[in-house]
Amino acid sequence: MGEDKGLVLIVEDEASIVDLERLYLTNAGFGVHTETDGARALAAVSRLHPAAIVLDIGIPGVDGLELCRVLRARGDWTPVVFVTARDDEVDRILGLELGADDYLTKPFSPRELVARVRALIRRSTVSARPELRRIGDVRLDPVRRRVDVADRRVELTATEFDLLEHLMSQPGRVFTREQLLSSVWGVADYSSSRTVDVHVAQLRVKLGDASDLIRTVRGVGYSAAEQDG
């Protein structure tokens, strides 16, 4: 379980929620640092380099969406789990487009939060699998967790990287949304399958001219194109 340890930054202004999140994350073996507003949280990220961030959208000052936008704009891809009371599809998609890796809506199980954080940290660490994957102009390096399209570096979140790697691991195989949720996100809540569609859409945007690598199989799910030849 040592690979799961790391410092988690909680950014939340409701004391009761902070206490609950801190209790469960600490009991799971994580270090915890808390901040109650966005400006202080940004400073804490630079100072502490957390392994993951649990980020409430409705914090005072710089809100969670803007905080995530600033982090990604400056090249910081620390895994982010958004937590919010707003169960709104617009907020959900906007958060993921800004580079969040996962999303929980209040009220939520603190055990579920721990499971999501643990999975994100595990996925964001260096992979032990050495093989490079290449399809067309897309080159994926699982050890360096790097993706290049031709000679262009593509910046991906931990979840986007793992989704692309999973698809590229078996070119031509069609994965259902439920299979992708189970394998990539490690969850069995298939009511959130829309999350897969959002991440695929973001991957296509980032891949640019190589976006046709990811193919939609209507009514089923997604696959990676098979290598020519």
Instruction: Determine the pLDDT at residue 203.
Output: 94
Assess whether 157 and 78 both reside in one domain: no
Decide: 161 and 127 in contact? Cβ < 8 Å.
no
Assess whether 112 and 192 both reside in one domain: no
Assess whether 150 and 100 both reside in one domain: no
Assess whether 143 and 56 both reside in one domain: no
Assess whether 6 and 107 both reside in one domain: yes
Which of these three, 99, 124, 149, is where a domain ends?
124
What is residue 48's three-state secondary structure? Answer: helix
Assess whether 114 and 9 both reside in one domain: yes
Supply the range of the domain harboring residue 171: 133-224
Global confidence as pTM: 0.70
Assess whether 100 and 7 both reside in one domain: yes
Instruction: Determine the pLDDT at residue 181.
Output: 84
Which of these three, 124, 159, 183, is where a domain ends?
124
CATH number at residue 154: 1.10.10.10
Q: Report the domain count for the chain.
A: 2
Instruction: Determine the pLDDT at residue 25.
Output: 95
* 171 domain residue, yes or no: yes
End-to-end distance of the chain based on CA atoms, in angstroms?
42
Assess whether 48 and 102 both reside in one domain: yes
* 229 domain residue, yes or no: no
Look up residue 84 and give its amino acid.
T
Give me the tens of pLDDT residue by residue for the chain, a chain 229 residues long.
Answer: 334 468 999 999 999 999 999 999 999 999 999 999 999 999 999 899 899 999 998 888 888 889 999 999 888 889 999 988 876 666 776 777 788 888 888 888 999 999 989 888 887 765 445 578 999 999 999 878 899 999 899 999 888 999 999 999 889 999 998 888 877 877 656 666 788 899 999 999 999 999 999 999 998 899 999 875 4
Cα dihedral 47, 48, 53, 56, rounded to 10, equals -50
What is residue 3's three-state secondary structure? Answer: helix
